């Protein structure tokens, strides 16, 4: 989408808060480059949100926050919280639309959108030389509706679904996935976790801010999905407060253990005359009434180590690399797990 097309779309679809946000960003144009202002705005917003919940990275990110605001005059610094307030207001207006119903009693669809991504493209800040292009939200939502399908059964069976976006941009595809779940009557805040990766720091900050404001449980990685390099990690408030580090670890261990045990159960079931058996359902049912549910940690770890190499998804690989990194364990990791109980 060209800048002119993005401008026309913005004029037609932007709400009042989004239009005021654009005006405030443009008010910096006399003394600063708009790309630098926008990048600093989303990073400052990301830092402020992160420092309210992720205490393990507080000192480093607080220093970074002070370094950024040091580049601006006092009256300019005061505009940044106003801009964040307008972004929040824009999402609040759109979320309010989701609570309405059509004449047929169905929820209104398409209430959410990629506010920051649309603003970024409308201001002409995309990097054409590197092929940077943000998919229009209408296209993202159409794709998500096609891909998500009927996820109700999956959520009922597994508790939640996982979404992986290796080149997340501003997070539009993940927002569209959340929008699709809402349209299907499923609360994405409880039934979806996203792992988002991008090589561009500004994109990482945009994604983190938008998913945080929409309370999407997510791990947003500043890294390279091809080389598996990681330069920074951002956990949304929904991820930390919802105990998702433990939930994801438990899901991975259960999946790998189930896959390791299921092949051994199949011949036994067939010998007993049971056909078309659902090994996963059998395992889940037995886990509730047997010692499988309380297997010793070393057994689970052994199965994970043996099976992880060729069974992990991209999201799993990033989660494991982050969990087994050099960051020291803090009391907040324990709190993260205790929130489940």
| Chain segment 174-212, per-residue pLDDT in tens | 998 888 888 888 889 998 999 999 999 999 999 999 999
- Mean pLDDT computed over 210-225: 94
Q: Please state, as a whole number, how many other Cβ atoms lie within 10 Å of the Cβ of residue 246.
A: 17
Considering the domain architecture, whether residues 235 and 257 belong to the same structural domain is answered as no
End residue of a domain, out of 203, 225, 241: 241
End residue of a domain, out of 221, 241, 261: 241
Considering the domain architecture, whether residues 298 and 329 belong to the same structural domain is answered as yes
> What does the pLDDT look like over 238-258, one tens digit per residue?
999 999 888 888 887 877 777
Considering the domain architecture, whether residues 68 and 85 belong to the same structural domain is answered as yes
For residue 162, give the H/E element and its range.
Answer: strand 161-165
Which residues sit opposite 219 in a β-bridge?
195, 235
Residue 27: is its pLDDT beyond 50?
Answer: yes
Residue 118: is its pLDDT beyond 80?
Answer: yes
Start-to-end C-alpha separation, the chain: 47
Q: Which pLDDT band holds residue 97 (cuts at 50, 70, 90)?
A: confident
User: Which range scores top for mean pLDDT: 3-7, 35-39, 274-278?
Assistant: 35-39
Considering the domain architecture, whether residues 236 and 249 belong to the same structural domain is answered as no
Considering the domain architecture, whether residues 102 and 49 belong to the same structural domain is answered as yes
User: Which range scores top for mean pLDDT: 3-17, 133-147, 169-183, 265-279?
Assistant: 169-183
Considering the domain architecture, whether residues 133 and 226 belong to the same structural domain is answered as yes
Considering the domain architecture, whether residues 297 and 197 belong to the same structural domain is answered as no
Q: Which pLDDT band holds residue 78 (cuts at 50, 70, 90)?
A: very high
Where would I find the H helices in the chain?
3-13, 16-26, 34-53, 58-69, 74-77, 79-98, 115-122, 137-148, 152-158, 172-183, 188-191, 201-213, 237-241, 244-271, 279-289, 297-311, 314-323, 331-338
Q: Which pLDDT band holds residue 72 (cuts at 50, 70, 90)?
A: very high
End residue of a domain, out of 241, 269, 294: 241
Q: Cα(41)–Cα(68) distance, rounded to whole angstroms?
A: 9
pLDDT at 109: 52
> 63 or 132: whose pLDDT is higher?
63
The CB-side HSE value for 67 (13 A sphere, CA atoms) comes to 8
Which residues sit opposite 162 in a β-bridge?
193
For residue 193, give the H/E element and its range.
Answer: strand 192-198
Considering the domain architecture, whether residues 85 and 216 belong to the same structural domain is answered as yes
Residue 287: is its pLDDT beyond 60?
Answer: no
- Mean pLDDT computed over 134-147: 77
Considering the domain architecture, whether residues 121 and 72 belong to the same structural domain is answered as yes
Among candidate residues 21, 185, 196, the one with its CA nearest the CA of residue 91: 21
The CB-side HSE value for 283 (13 A sphere, CA atoms) comes to 19
Residue 92: is its pLDDT beyond 50?
Answer: yes
Domain total of the chain: 2
Range of the domain at 135: 3-241
pLDDT at 293: 37
Q: Cα(67)–Cα(52) distance, rounded to whole angstroms?
A: 18
- Mean pLDDT computed over 3-22: 75
Considering the domain architecture, whether residues 232 and 255 belong to the same structural domain is answered as no
pLDDT at 11: 65
pLDDT at 65: 96
Tokens of 57: 């990275």
pLDDT at 60: 94
For residue 161, give the H/E element and its range.
Answer: strand 161-165
Considering the domain architecture, whether residues 212 and 324 belong to the same structural domain is answered as no
Lowest mean pLDDT segment, chosen from 33-37, 56-60, 131-135, 274-278 = 274-278
Residue 37: is its pLDDT beyond 50?
Answer: yes
pLDDT at 305: 46
List phi, psi (to 5°) of 159.
95, -35
pTM, to two decimals: 0.75
Considering the domain architecture, whether residues 207 and 96 belong to the same structural domain is answered as yes
Burial of 284 (0-12, 13-18, 19+ CB in 10 A): middle
Among candidate residues 25, 24, 19, 28, the one with its CA nearest the CA of residue 90: 19
């Amino acid at each position: 989408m060209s800048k002119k097309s993005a401008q026309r779309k913005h004029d037609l679809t932007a709400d009042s808060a989004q239009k005021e946000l654009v005006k405030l960003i443009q008010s910096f144009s006399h003394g600063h480059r708009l790309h630098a202002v926008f990048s600093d705005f989303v990073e400052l917003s990301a830092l402020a949100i992160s420092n309210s919940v992720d205490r393990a990275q507080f000192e480093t990110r607080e220093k970074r926050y002070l370094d950024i605001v040091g580049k601006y005059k006092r009256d300019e610094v005061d505009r940044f919280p106003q801009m964040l307030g307008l972004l929040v207001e824009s999402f609040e207006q759109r979320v309010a639309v989701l609570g309405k119903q059509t004449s047929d009693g169905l929820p209104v669809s398409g209430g959410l959108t990629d506010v920051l991504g649309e603003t970024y493209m409308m201001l002409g800040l995309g990097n054409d030389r590197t092929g940077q292009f943000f998919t229009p939200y209408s296209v993202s939502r159409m794709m998500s509706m096609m891909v998500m399908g009927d996820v109700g059964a999956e959520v009922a069976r597994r508790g939640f679904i996982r979404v992986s976006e290796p080149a997340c941009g501003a997070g539009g595809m993940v927002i569209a996935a959340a929008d699709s779940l809402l349209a299907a009557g499923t609360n994405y805040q409880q039934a979806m976790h996203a792992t988002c990766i991008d090589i561009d720091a500004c994109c990482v900050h945009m994604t983190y801010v938008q998913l945080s404001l929409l309370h999407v449980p997510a791990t947003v990685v500043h890294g390279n999905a091809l080389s598996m390099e990681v330069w920074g990690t951002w956990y949304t408030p929904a991820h930390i407060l919802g105990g998702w580090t433990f939930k994801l670890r438990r899901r991975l261990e259960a999946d790998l253990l189930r896959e390791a045990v299921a092949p051994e159960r199949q011949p036994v079931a067939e010998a007993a005359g049971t056909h078309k058996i659902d090994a996963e359902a059998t395992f889940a049912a037995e886990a509730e009434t047997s010692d499988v549910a309380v297997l010793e940690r070393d057994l689970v770890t052994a199965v994970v180590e043996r099976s992880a190499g060729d069974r992990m998804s991209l999201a799993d690989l990033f989660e494991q690399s982050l969990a087994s990194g050099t960051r020291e364990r803090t009391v907040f990791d324990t709190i993260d797990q205790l929130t489940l109980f």
